[in-house]
Amino acid sequence: MYRLIAVEPLIGNPTDRMIGYLETPDQYTPFEATQAGVKVFEGVSKKRYKSYEHYAGVMGKFVPEVFFFIHPQPVTELTLAGLKQAFTQHQKGVQS
């Protein structure tokens, strides 16, 4: 199971590409999604951090342009559409 934990803002706000971070059962990992598919890159073991909040705090110092979610969003399908859906659910939760 994947959870969307951060999305990097892209110049021009393209609708055909998304870059961000996912949480898997064992890792925190960066990804890039396009219409052609999702590339999940080498991540870091969750065991290196006390908690998700610890990881997000550390990464926020190294990648300040990315905002990590307070509440990670489940990803139902590891596709660009599935990731966009998770991001939309995140935005709805932030706005309410």
CB 62, CB 68: distance < 8 Å: no
pLDDT category at 78 given cuts 50, 70, 90 is very high
- Can you give the pTM of this predicted structure? 0.89
Both tokens of residue 46?
């969750």
Closest CA to 20 of 76, 68, 78, 88: 68
How far is residue 33 CA from its own chain's centroid?
Answer: 11
d(CA 51, CA 65): 21
Contacts for 83 with CB less than 8 Å, ≥ 6 apart: 4, 18, 20, 31, 33, 38, 75
Report the pLDDT averaged over residues 61-65.
88
- Render pLDDT for 15-51 as a digit per residue (tens, 0 to 9): 788 999 999 999 999 999 999 999 999 999 999 999 9
* Top mean-pLDDT range of 51-55, 60-64, 90-94: 51-55
Domain extents in the chain: 2-85
